[in-house]
């Protein structure tokens, strides 16, 4: 039992001190010192009953002594009765995750060091790999390439959408979890080779495709030129790279003669707020873009003024990434496509454009997520995510749990919903937006 007791040494103390900062003295005075796996004697059993019967804690205040004693009891029972060998690292992480789950907020949570590292890579929009998106059938476990990024190692080597992945570097991965396959086998050190064995529907045998990993900037923006001088830009999510990708797409469309713009935010779940704010600043005249309101009464206002995008706060707090130069205003007719899965940062952009009457919103009501989360890294490489603020559109509209109504409501046709995949020419919401832009 000696090695196992090391797991409990200071587990709760570590959680409270690391997460909440200055609770070391409070924790120590409450008896949160050391949680060794041991048998509780009669006196300690009585202590549990005494602690559990106390009711003099102020409402909402944690009773650290009670928590400490109860954890000892639970740990004892695990040691005595649990048939399998417990994974003590998972148990520790479960304590922290449970603490955050107790907030009752689906948007707040705990990240293990591994999960936080993955999160940071995702939000940066850059990783080292082959440049392909892979999906997995949950029933058959078959992994299929659904998208190959233009100019990527995958594209250069001839990997195609529709290819089914069976082996990587000779190892059968056909029944493994797709997230683990990507993390453990597809991604890797820049300049290293990876051999992916696929089955192609048009081929009769397996194909080995060798690719050299390199840094990939995930394309969160796609664009194409439609008829009548209409540029179409799809934003799949908002990451740190999205604003630059959007501006590059607009420039390319302008070079092709774009006179009107359609922005597709349908099923865009949001992401990094700064990406949405930067795009709004690029499209709008000078003025307020977004206001956030915090628990302590602080308010931050993102606005453009004197050709700069800046953040003004009621407390004088500094945002190191601001101000930034903003000399643009795209003064052409704009339509924005939205639906019930357009959320968070998508609603920031759509809401600002609607308030300024700079775009016609087409589709269905948006999701209604008007709250902001911050991620706080901890000393051991883990992190917590907390809902810290509500945000409001430039007009002061609180969209949380309400959503944003489109200017022109158009449901996606039942036929297209059943079909699943369809072209822009078949898309009745896109066609309605074209009709509006051509009026």
pLDDT per residue as tens digits for the range 273-303: 999 999 999 999 999 999 999 999 999 999 9
Distance CA 431, CA 337 (A): 11
Catalytic residue among 108, 342, 344, 382: 344
Q: Do residues 225 and 212 both lie within one domain?
A: no
Note whether 408 and 392 are within 8 A (CB).
no
- Phi, psi of 22, rounded to the nearest 5 degrees: -105, 35
Q: Do residues 160 and 226 both lie within one domain?
A: no
Residue 287 token pair? 């003025």
Distance CA 273, CA 291 (A): 12
Residue 369 known to be catalytic: yes
Q: Do residues 311 and 408 both lie within one domain?
A: yes
Give domain status of residue 7, yes or no: yes
Total length of the chain: 439
Sign of the Cα pseudo-torsion (110, 114, 119, 120, in order): positive
Return the residue matching tokens 């809902």.
387
Q: Do residues 295 and 403 both lie within one domain?
A: yes
Q: Do residues 22 and 96 both lie within one domain?
A: yes
Residue 152 known to be catalytic: no
Note whether 263 and 295 are within 8 A (CB).
no
Q: Which of 150, 347, 176 is nearest to 266 (CA)?
A: 347
Q: Do residues 270 and 364 both lie within one domain?
A: yes
Q: For residue 123, what pLDDT band results from cuts at 50, 70 and 90?
A: low
Query: Residue 171: its pLDDT value, please?
Result: 95
Q: What is the DSSP letter of 229?
A: G
SS3 290: strand
Catalytic residue among 369, 385, 427, 432: 369
Catalytic residue among 355, 385, 427, 432: 355
Tell me whether the omega of the peptide bond preceding residue 323 falls within 30 degrees of 0, making it cis: yes
Residue 355 known to be catalytic: yes
Tell me which residue range forms the domain holding 136. 126-217
* pTM of full prediction above 0.85: no
Q: What is the DSSP letter of 194?
A: E
Q: Do residues 402 and 281 both lie within one domain?
A: yes
DSSP string, 348-401: HHHHHHHHTT-SEEEES------EEEEEEE-TTS-EEEEEEEEEE-TT----TT
CA dist 298 to 312, 314, 318, 343, 375, Å? 11, 6, 13, 24, 18
Query: Residue 421: its pLDDT value, please?
Result: 63
- Phi, psi of 180, rounded to the nearest 5 degrees: -70, -35
Query: Residue 111: its pLDDT value, please?
Result: 93
Q: Do residues 97 and 145 both lie within one domain?
A: no
Q: For residue 161, what pLDDT band results from cuts at 50, 70 and 90?
A: confident
Q: Where are the alpha helices (DSSP H) in 138-292?
A: 153-157, 178-181, 242-255, 273-283
Query: Residue 51: its pLDDT value, please?
Result: 46
Q: Do residues 212 and 189 both lie within one domain?
A: yes
């Amino acid at each position: 039992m000696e090695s196992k007791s090391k797991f409990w040494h200071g587990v709760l103390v570590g959680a409270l001190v690391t997460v909440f900062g200055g609770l070391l003295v409070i924790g120590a005075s409450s008896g949160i010192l050391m949680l060794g796996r041991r048998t509780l004697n009669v006196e300690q059993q009585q202590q549990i009953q005494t602690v559990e019967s106390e009711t003099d804690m102020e409402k909402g205040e944690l009773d650290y002594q009670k928590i400490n004693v109860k954890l000892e009891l639970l740990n004892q029972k695990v040691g005595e009765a649990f048939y399998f060998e417990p994974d003590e690292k998972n148990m520790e992480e479960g304590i922290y995750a449970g603490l955050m789950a107790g907030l009752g907020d689906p948007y707040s949570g705990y990240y293990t060091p591994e999960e936080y590292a993955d999160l940071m890579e995702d939000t940066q929009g850059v990783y080292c790999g082959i440049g392909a998106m892979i999906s997995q059938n949950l029933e058959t476990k078959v992994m299929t390439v659904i998208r190959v990024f233009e100019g990527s190692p995958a594209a250069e080597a001839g990997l195609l959408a529709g290819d089914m992945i069976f082996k990587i570097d000779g190892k059968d991965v056909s029944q493994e979890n797709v997230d683990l396959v990507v993390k453990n086998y597809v991604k890797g050190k820049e300049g290293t080779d990876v051999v992916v064995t696929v089955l192609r529907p048009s081929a009769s045998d397996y194909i080995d495709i060798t690719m050299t990993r390199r840094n990939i900037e995930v394309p969160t923006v796609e664009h194409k030129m439609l008829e009548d001088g209409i540029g179409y830009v799809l934003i799949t999510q908002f990451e740190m790279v999205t604003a630059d990708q959007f501006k590059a797409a607009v420039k390319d469309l302008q070079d092709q003669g774009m006179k009107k713009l359609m922005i597709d935010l349908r099923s865009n779940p949001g992401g990094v707020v700064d990406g949405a704010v930067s795009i709004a600043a690029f499209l709008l005249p000078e003025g307020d873009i977004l206001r956030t309101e915090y628990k302590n009464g602080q308010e931050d206002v993102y606005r453009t003024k004197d050709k700069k995008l800046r953040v003004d706060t009621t407390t004088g707090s500094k945002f190191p990434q601001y101000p930034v130069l903003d000399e643009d205003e795209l003064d052409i007719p704009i339509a924005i496509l939205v639906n019930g899965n357009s959320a968070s940062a998508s609603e920031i952009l759509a809401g600002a454009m609607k308030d300024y009457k700079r775009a016609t919103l087409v589709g269905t009501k948006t999701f209604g997520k008007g709250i902001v989360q911050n991620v706080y890294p901890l000393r051991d490489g883990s992190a917590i995510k907390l809902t810290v603020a509500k945000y409001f559109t430039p007009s002061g509209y609180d969209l949380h749990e309400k959503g944003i109504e489109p200017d022109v409501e158009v449901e996606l046709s039942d036929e297209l919903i059943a079909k699943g995949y369809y072209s822009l020419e078949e898309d009745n919401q896109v066609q309605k937006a074209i009709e509006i832009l051509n009026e």
